[in-house]
Every structure is written in C-alpha cells, then in structure tokens.
C-alpha cells in the first residue's frame, strides 16, 4: 500500500510500504477512507533534521475495518470508524478519568512500528479502546466533519473545556488556524456569548465568524491586547484559548486574560520557558490545557455533527489524493491551504 513518510524538513514522500496485518490480538486493520494534515505536522515539516530513514506520519483518519484481532469486541469488518490522534485502551485509570493521552497502554501513530494515518491503511493497536464507530455510510457528506473528531475539533473543545468556557462566557481565541477556528466553534457550542477571535487572515476569520466569533481582532502584540481590552471594558476575558504554540501568542494570552482568569493552550508549545512571574501570580491567572484527549470527547461531540447542528469540517479547504499529500504539506506551510483533507 501507499503511505506518507517524512524524511526531514520540507521532505515528505509517499512510498510503497507493506500492507498492515494483525500483530497483536488487540489490533484491527483499517482501510483509510479519509485522512488529513494537521497543523502539528507542520512543526516537523518545518524543522525536522534530514534523515535517510523516513518516518511514517499522520494521526487523523477514519476508515473501514478490514480485519480485527481475536481480543477485539464490538467491532467488525465493514464498520466505519474514526480514530483519535492517540491510541489508547480506554480502560486504564487515566482513560477512565478522560485523559487518554496519558493511557498506560497507549501511544502515538507513526512510532514504534505503528502506522501513520496518512496512508491507505493502518494497523490500529488497542483497537477496541481506540476506535469509535460512525453511524453513517462511507460516502456520507458528513465525513469531513466526522474526521475532525480525530483531533482538530476535540482539540478546540479541550481548550474551551479546560479554560472553563460555559453559558454566557466571554472568551478570547488566539489564532485563526484550524485549531483556533475549532476552538471558536467549541466555545460557541458551550454557550459563550462573546467570542473575540485574534487572527488576520480574512478568509479564516470569516469562517470564525460563521463558527460564532462575535469580534475579530487583526492586530497583534500590544496593539492586539489593547484592542481586546477595549472590547471588554478594559478587563480582558475570563477565558483565553491559545491555539498557536508560539511564545508571542502565549504572551498575548497573558495580556488579554482577566484577573482570576484562565489561559488554556492547545497549540503545541514551541518554547520551554513561560513568562509567568509576579504579575501572573498577583492576578491569580491559571495556565492549563495541553494535548487533547480526543478519545474522551468523540461520543460527546458526534451527535451535533450527525444532527447537522455544527459543521467543523468547514476547516478543510483543499482535498488531495494520497499522491497529493506532499503538495498538501507545502500548501499548508505556505498558508495557501487552511487544512488539507486526504482521500486516499
């Protein structure tokens, strides 16, 4: 079969690899129907040291089950399923608490002999715990939105939930990438009344408005902070959703958060040090968020998609076949594409 490998910065290739087969009795093999490229895939695409050995990549997919191991219950050949971006047993104490990203028997796609998601098929470890059935046909028009359940929509949702967004909240979302837009949608879904989206790409912030943003602030840095404060009577918002991952974005978050408020970040931090000293302390600011346990949220978020209430798949603006994946990376890196859908 064909699968995507990354060899280093700017070097993504689609190659022939062995077809996946059941290895452990807890495995399943899934034929990928839809996959996609994540903003977080752009980090290695931008900076990974070159290597002679490629690494499988991609961690978002839905597809049809082709085979199941002897210990997998509740899943059968032909089922359409979605996979969260971390596989997990869904039974350990961490999973039970909803923190599947810390599962005691889980792991990431593309590492340690596990397939990546940007390929034609995937061996899924801990299949029973990992995969969630989708009650639609494999040609459903809902596939793009259901695919967002793998990562981007639960990531936005995790950001909103950990920040404490609820009915009537006033929220700032930093970043107009697919995660930021998903965070807007999630905040709206949780009842936020004022949603200030900080972003300067009109095509994207327009989707943000569709998703529920009440205000858009294009300015950045101190100017952007002043603008958000102006929109909030000088105080900032109680919840701030940081969906970028750069230190500048985090500092903007600290600049627009109200005293006693919470900054949640889901943009993978491209920094180690956080400026959170005296002022942060005197204002009782909370820093939370982290890698989203998508698996914990899938069943909860799916009904609104099935009922057509929300359309998180709006973040996909380019579709490619498997051979188009390398070009898709480049389009996203160049900001020509917001998020690339892959139909292998």
Binding site for a copy of itself (CB under 8 A): 94, 97, 99, 101-102, 162, 259-260, 265, 268-269, 271-278, 280-291, 293
Radius of gyration of the chain (CA): 20
Least distance in angstroms from the C-beta of 36 to a copy of itself: 22
In angstroms, what is the minimal distance from the CB of 146 to a copy of itself? Answer: 25
> Which is nearer to a copy of itself, 134 or 165 (by Cβ)?
165
Shortest CB 228 distance to a copy of itself, Å: 18
By residue count, the chain amounts to 344
Please report how close the Cβ of residue 26 comes to a copy of itself at its closest, in angstroms: 22
Q: Which is nearer to a copy of itself, 203 or 259 (CB)?
A: 259
Comparing CB distances to a copy of itself, the nearer of 191 and 260 is: 260
Dihedral sign (CA 96, 178, 250, 86): positive
Nearer to a copy of itself, 286 or 311 (CB): 286
Q: Tokens for 46?
A: 């931008």
Please name the residues in contact with 92: beta carbons below 8 A apart, sequence gap of 6 or more. Answer: 103, 104, 105
What is d(CA 332, CA 194) in angstroms, rounded to the nearest whole number?
29
How far CA 270 is from CA of 35, 40, 46, 133, 253, in Å, comes to: 25, 11, 12, 34, 15
Largest CA distance in the chain: 61
Separation between Cα atoms, residue 83 and residue 185, nearest integer Å: 21
Between the alpha carbon of residue 159 and those of residues 171, 187, 222, the distances in Å are 11, 9, 23
- Closest separation in Å from C-beta 100 to a copy of itself: 10
Read off the tokens for 233: 């009577």
Question: Which C-beta is closer to a copy of itself: that of 120 or that of 242?
Answer: 242
Is 157 or 204 the residue whose CB approaches a copy of itself more closely? 157
The set of residues, in sequence order, having a beta carbon less than 8 Å from that of 233 and lying 6+ positions away, is: none
Indicate the DSSP class of residue 19: P
Residue 111 CB, shortest distance to a copy of itself, in Å, is 13
- With a CB cutoff of 8 Å and minimum separation 6, the contacts of 135 are 306
Q: To the nearest whole angstrom, how small is the minimum distance from the Cβ of residue 311 to a copy of itself?
A: 28
Q: Which is nearer to a copy of itself, 54 or 255 (CB)?
A: 255
Q: Given the complex with a copy of itself, which of 102 and 319 has the nearer CB atom?
A: 102
Rounded least distance, CB 28 to a copy of itself, Å: 26
């Amino acid at each position: 079969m064909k699968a995507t490998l990354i060899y280093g910065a700017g070097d993504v290739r689609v190659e022939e690899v062995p077809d996946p087969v059941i290895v452990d009795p807890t495995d399943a093999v899934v034929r990928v129907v839809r996959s996609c490229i994540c903003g977080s895939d752009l980090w290695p695409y931008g900076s990974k040291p070159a290597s002679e050995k490629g690494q499988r990549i991609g961690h978002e997919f839905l597809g049809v089950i082709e085979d199941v191991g002897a210990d997998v219950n509740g899943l059968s050949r032909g089922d359409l399923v979605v996979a969260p971006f971390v596989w997990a047993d869904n039974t350990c104490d961490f999973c039970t608490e909803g923190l599947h990203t810390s599962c005691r028997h889980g792991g990431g796609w593309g590492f340690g002999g596990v397939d990546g998601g940007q390929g034609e098929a995937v061996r899924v470890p801990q299949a029973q715990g990992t995969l969630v059935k989708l009650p639609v046909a494999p040609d459903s028009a809902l596939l793009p939105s259901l695919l967002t359940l793998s990562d981007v929509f639960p990531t936005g949702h995790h950001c909103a939930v950990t920040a404490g967004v609820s009915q009537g909240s006033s929220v700032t979302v930093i970043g107009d990438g697919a995660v930021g837009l998903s965070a807007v949608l999630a905040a709206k879904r949780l009842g936020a009344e004022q949603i200030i989206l900080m972003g300067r790409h009109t095509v994207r912030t327009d989707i943000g408005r569709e998703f529920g943003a009440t205000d858009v602030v294009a300015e950045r840095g101190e100017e952007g902070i002043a603008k958000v404060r102006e929109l909030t009577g000088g105080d900032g918002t109680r919840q701030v959703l940081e969906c970028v991952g750069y230190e500048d974005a985090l500092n903007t978050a600290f600049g627009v958060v109200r005293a006693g408020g919470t900054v949640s970040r889901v943009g993978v931090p491209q920094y180690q040090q956080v400026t959170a000293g005296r002022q942060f302390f005197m204002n009782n600011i909370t820093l939370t968020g982290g890698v989203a346990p998508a698996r914990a949220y899938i069943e909860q978020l799916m009904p609104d998609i099935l009922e057509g209430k929300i359309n998180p798949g709006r973040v996909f603006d380019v579709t490619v076949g498997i051979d188009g994946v390398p070009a898709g990376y480049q389009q996203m890196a160049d900001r020509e594409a917001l998020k690339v859908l892959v139909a292998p």
